[in-house]
């Protein structure tokens, strides 16, 4: 288990007072250890879990060649581009009820979508491309020239998933699509990593809990709710430890409670260098013997101060501490930039680069080189179909309302300077994350 000092020593140019966003992400990716315990779950419980095994397809999907259309199946070798063909219909193949006969030249089989292709037949013409007539009790179908080629409208056995091949690999964070795919293979139970447990609390004498009466100089706790939302979106189990006063004994108590119960503890507030920033002192004290703590000044906006620590748990294992800044938007931004990727890694999920949208700035944006900025923006599509982003309200680090007015965070890179109207910028969309 690496200590924070070990990792700091591995990183080139590590200066806790001046870290770039990339360096912080790199630091955390080296610190985090994925969970190892697994459990078996049924498919209805698999959504949002991380796959702990490779899935080898036990069968072919589809299990047999079948028709992609309602129409008529025939042997495509008879097709000619010059003339229409007329076939006698000699049977019907339904989905789930194959036609077992044998077709001869000049004959076809009426076939429904999903029905097994009768032996020797490889081509289906959709019903709407044909005309049919009755003659002596027989149904005759006319196929115009140049409408289908041999092999058309036939789905091949195993074209979706091939028996014996890996269809999903370990580390996949399962969405409804993955679960559907597992179901298509007839798989009922899978092995997933155990769920993470994450505890969180807010700190500060001025922080009110819901139900408290307003008082001068105090504000209601919003961080616990935004953090809760982002944790639930990640699919972890949560432990809410409430609001903790700026009081060493209570803080110590909250940290020990969290460490007993959780893989990670997320706090907000109290990590800058203010007089009452007891969280910082307490993290220093409790992490001293078990892996250490680092206090960072990150070249970013919002979200400059942040602390990371680790605590050894009495029964083995460890708990990671994330001391986020206090300002409500800084909390959300540091969570999305650092805590979320770290927790995903801890959950056992394979790292995936964040997919950012490229949108054109609808207005000039001021930006100082030498820090990463996350600005709240509203991404929209112009009538011409161009993706643009305009800034959403007051960009203060405590202004949560502009987080609501925006639908994404414009990510302005470390070295980037001012952005002119019309320049492309990266946007992290908030949908599904918060
Ligand atoms: P701190 O880092 O503790 O000095 O907090 C920075 C700013 O964030 C202060 O204005 C705090 O009042 C505010 N703040 C801290 N925690 C919360 C919270 N849980 N909800 C809303 N605002 C907070
Ligand atoms: Mg505080």
Residue 87: closest CA among 102, 73, 101: 73
Q: What residues flank ion ligand 2 with Cβ within 5 A? A: 204, 269-270, 326
* DSSP state letter for 279: H
Q: Is 289 exposed, middle or buried (0-12, 13-18, 19+ CB in 10 A)?
A: exposed
Nearest-CA residue for atom 5 of ligand 1: 326
> Model confidence over 152-198: pLDDT tens digits?
999 999 999 999 999 999 999 999 999 999 999 999 999 999 999 99
pLDDT-derived band at 314 (thresholds 50, 70, 90) equals confident
Distance CA 71, CA 153 (A): 9
For ligand 1, atom 20, the nearest C-alpha belongs to 221
| Mean pLDDT over each residue of the chain, to the nearest integer | 96
What is the reported pLDDT for 275? Answer: 76
**Directed axis angle between helix 278-287 and helix 248-261, to 10°?**
50
Give the pair of three-digit tokens for residue 307: 């602390």
Q: Give 251 Cα–ligand 2 centroid separation in angstroms.
A: 12
In angstroms, what is the span from residue 261 Cα to ligand 2's centroid?
Answer: 24
Nearest atom within ligand 1 for CA of residue 222: 20
Mean pLDDT of 80-97: 95
Single out the residue of 72, 82, 78 nearest to residue 144, CA to CA. Answer: 82
Q: Which residues line ligand 1 (CB under 6 A)?
A: 202, 204, 206-207, 219, 221-223, 268-270, 272, 274, 325-328, 398
Range 383-407 average pLDDT: 97
The ligand minimizing its distance to the Cα of 325 is 1
pLDDT tens, position by position, 270-308: 998 887 888 989 999 999 888 899 999 999 999 999 999
pLDDT at 1: 76
User: Which ligand has an atom closest to residue 246 CA?
Assistant: 2
Q: What is the pTM of this model?
A: 0.95
Distance of CA 327 from the midpoint of ligand 1 (Å): 5
d(CA 360, CA 179): 36
Residue 327 alpha carbon, nearest atom of ligand 1: 8
pLDDT tens by residue, 225-278: 999 999 999 999 999 999 999 999 999 999 999 999 899 999 999 998 887 888
The Å distance, Cα 303 to ligand 2 centre, comes to 14
Indicate the length of the chain as a whole number: 434
The per-residue pLDDT for range 124-149, each reduced to its tens digit, is 999 999 999 999 999 999 999 999 99
């Amino acid at each position: 288990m690496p200590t924070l000092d070990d990792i700091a020593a591995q990183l080139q140019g590590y200066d806790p007072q001046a870290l770039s966003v990339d360096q912080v992400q790199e630091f955390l990716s080296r610190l985090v250890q994925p969970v190892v315990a697994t459990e078996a779950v049924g498919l209805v419980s698999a959504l949002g879990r991380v796959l702990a095994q490779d899935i080898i397809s036990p069968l072919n999907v589809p299990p047999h060649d079948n028709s992609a259309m309602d129409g008529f199946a025939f042997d495509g070798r008879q097709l000619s581009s010059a003339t229409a063909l007329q076939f006698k219909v000699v049977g019907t193949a339904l989905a789930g009820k194959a036609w077992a006969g044998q077709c001869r030249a000049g004959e076809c089989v009426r076939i429904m979508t999903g029905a097994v292709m009768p032996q020797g037949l490889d081509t289906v013409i959709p019903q709407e491309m044909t005309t049919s007539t009755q003659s002596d009790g027989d149904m005759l179908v006319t196929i115009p020239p140049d409408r289908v080629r041999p092999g058309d409208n036939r789905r091949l056995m195993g074209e979706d998933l091939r028996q014996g091949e890996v269809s999903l690999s370990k580390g996949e964070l399962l969405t409804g699509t993955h679960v559907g795919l597992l179901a298509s293979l007839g798989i009922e139970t899978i092995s997933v990593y155990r769920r993470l447990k994450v505890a969180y609390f807010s700190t500060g004498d001025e922080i009110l809990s819901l139900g408290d009466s307003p008082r001068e100089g105090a504000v209601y706790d919003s961080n616990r709710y935004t953090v809760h939302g982002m944790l639930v979106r990640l699919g972890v189990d949560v432990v809410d430890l409430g609001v903790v006063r700026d009081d060493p004994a209570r803080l110590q108590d909250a940290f020990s409670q969290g460490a007993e119960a959780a893989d990670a503890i997320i706090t907000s507030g109290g990590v800058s260098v203010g007089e009452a920033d007891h969280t910082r002192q307490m993290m220093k004290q409790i992490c001293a013997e078990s892996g250490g703590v680092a206090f960072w000044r990150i070249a970013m906006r919002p979200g400059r101060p942040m602390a990371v620590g680790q605590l050894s748990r009495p029964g083995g294992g460890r708990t990671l501490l994330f001391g986020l800044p206090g300002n409500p938007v800084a909390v959300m931004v540091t969570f999305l930039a650092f805590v979320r990727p770290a927790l995903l890694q801890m959950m056992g999920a394979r790292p995936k680069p964040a997919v950012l949208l490229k949108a054109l700035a609808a207005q000039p944006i001021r930006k100082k080189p030498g820090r990463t900025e996350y600005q709240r923006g509203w991404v929209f599509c112009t009538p011409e179909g161009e993706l643009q982003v305009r800034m959403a309200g007051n960009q203060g680090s405590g202004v949560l309302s502009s987080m609501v007015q925006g639908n994404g965070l414009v990510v302005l890179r470390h070295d980037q300077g001012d952005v002119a109207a019309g320049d492309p910028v990266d946007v992290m969309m908030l949908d599904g994350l918060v």
